[in-house]
Amino acid sequence: MNEKITSRECIMQLIRTRMASRHAMQRLLRNSNAGITFEMLQIMSCLWSEQGVTQQTLAERTAKDKACLSSLMTNLERKGLVCRHENPKDRRNKLVYLTEKGEEFHQRIAPQLKEYYDRLERILGKEQIKLTDKLLKDLQHAIETY
């Protein structure tokens, strides 16, 4: 393989890979009758590792703007998966928590998500995963410091 890969082609492949990942996760959610979107899953996933965070923190962790996040939060609340409580330290900010139904959803979907990620690890191997993670972090740093 003697073709020269440019940084532009690398970025384009990254975008295609992101879209493929998103579509695969949407299929998983649809096949699991999860009743939520990929974007909602991103928020839920953040809350599975840490609850009681601000909407601003969730926006940063999911790379969503405030308006988009607010809409997603409203939909997740309607589904009974999350709730927002006033922050006692700053009444302008709301803290986000999973509800009991949100916890139950996590228990239900976690095995399928684990299977998805385990499959990727079996196909690529732990060393390739580690190398890819490092390269993506290096690429992110190079882009952010432009």
Average pLDDT over residues 99-115: 97
CA atoms within 13 A on the CB side of 130: 3
Structure pTM? 0.87
Tell me the per-residue pLDDT of 27-72, one tens digit each, with 9 for 90 and over: 999 999 999 999 999 999 999 999 999 999 999 999 999 889 999 9
Give whichever of 14-18, 65-69, 83-87 has the largest mean pLDDT.
14-18
Residues above pLDDT 70, as percent of the chain: 99
Give the span between the Cα atoms of 5 and 44, in whole angstroms: 37
User: Which residues, at least 6 apart from 71, have a Cβ–Cβ distance to it below 8 Å?
Assistant: none
Rounded to the nearest integer, the mean pLDDT of the chain is 94
pLDDT of residue 3: 74
pLDDT at 101: 97
CB 84 within 8 A of CB 73: yes
Instruction: Please give the Cα distance from 11 to 122 (Å, whole number).
Output: 25
